[in-house]
Amino acid sequence: MPDKPTTEKEWLACLALDEMYEIIPAGHILPIIGPEIWVDGNGRRFSRGDYIKKHGVDPKIGWDAIKAYRKAAGKKDKAVML
How do residues 1-13 score in pLDDT, each as one tens digit?
Answer: 557 777 877 776 7
Question: Residue 42 in contact with residue 17, Cβ under 8 Å?
Answer: yes
Q: Which secondary structure element, helix H or strand E, spans residue 45, and what is its range?
A: strand 45-46
| Structural domain total, the chain | 1
- 19-64 tens-digit pLDDT: 778 888 999 999 999 999 999 988 999 999 999 999 999 999 999 9
| Rounded-to-integer distance, Cα 70 and Cα 38, Å | 18
Assigned domain for 81 exists: no
- pTM (two decimals): 0.68
Expressed in percent and rounded to 5, the helix, strand and coil fractions of the chain are 45, 10, 45
Assigned domain for 59 exists: yes
Assigned domain for 41 exists: yes
Assigned domain for 57 exists: yes
* Bridge partner list, 38: 28, 46
Assigned domain for 82 exists: no
Where in the sequence is the domain holding 34, given as residue range(s)? 18-71
